[in-house]
Amino acid sequence: MRGMKAAPFEYTRVESLAEACALLAEHGPDAKLIAGGQSLVPMMAMRLARPARLVDIYRVPELQALSAEADELVLGATVRQCVIERDPRVRARLPLLIQALRWVGHVQTRNRNTAGGSIVHADPSAEIPLVASVLNATLELHDSSGGSEIPAQEFFLAPMVTAIAPEQCLARIRFPIWSEARTGSAFDEISMRHGDFALASACAQVALDAEGRCTRAVMGVGSVSPIPHALPEVGEQLVGMRLDDAAIAGAADAVAGLIDPEGDLHASGEYRRHLARVLIARVLAAARDQALQTNKAAA
């Protein structure tokens, strides 16, 4: 059928970020970057996207680097998700990202999906954009004139719409590493089947002091808003508190009051609000328990 075949396009495989940026500058909005292709190729097949030129960045060495510093984990945009979930540095320094990846599609899709592709595609139900927003990762964008940075919480504008310009390429994602020893995190979601788009998702990361009081907390929900919804104001309210059941229930209620989900064929807005409340309570309790276990192990 005509609708299941991509419109004609030119294809270029580049060897460097500079080459990719030069092609984007030359061809403008008619050019699209491709790496894993798990989102763009189906859209082209349905003619929802009709780029005149594809610029393949999948094998650019500088975009495949993964490094761990004292205060940040840096992912090149084309690092595959299967590489991330197997890397011991990510497991040790950023467990929230590992917890999120367990919910991303299936093994076969994670073998091709890239970290940057998920972020730039900006599906409001996607897991990696939610983690990036909640931790407010720094996104490094490049064009033919150089590089710039933007916080993840300012990057997502609408479903599948971001602040990246047509001539720009996402080069790296810089996730902050918390220095607190007693830190815990959790990610959870509800979907019809594992690997389906989430009806609602939530994640949280907390740090506790030696007495079990919260010193830092962040959280957010996905699939209930047009963009990944980080809720730093709710996390700030938990600072100084013991994360007992009452504090967690209060935070979950606050989250439910701050969102305005829309209904669709799969779930009503009120049901999504209910799921957000339940999931926030779950991830906060799980993150707290993990932090307390870390405390016990350190002792």
Digit-by-digit pLDDT tens for the chain (299 residues) are: 455 688 888 889 999 999 999 999 999 888 889 887 777 777 787 787 888 898 999 999 999 999 998 899 999 999 999 999 999 999 999 999 999 999 987 777 787 789 999 999 999 999 999 999 999 999 999 999 999 999 999 999 999 999 999 999 999 999 999 999 999 999 999 998 887 788 999 999 999 999 999 999 999 999 999 999 999 999 999 999 999 999 999 999 999 999 999 888 888 999 999 999 999 999 999 999 999 997 554 44
- pTM assigned to the model: 0.92
Burial (Cβ within 10 Å: 0-12, 13-18, ≥19) of residue 101:
buried
Token duo for residue 290: 């993990």
**Cα 198 from Cα 142, distance rounded (Å):** 31
Q: What domains can you pick out in the chain, each with its CATH number?
A: 8-56 (3.30.43.10), 63-176 (3.30.465.10), 183-298 (3.30.390.50)
What integer pLDDT is reported at residue 295 of this predicted model? 55
d(CA 204, CA 187): 7
**Which pLDDT belongs to residue 299?**
41
**Residues 6/44, Cβ–Cβ less than 8 Å:** yes
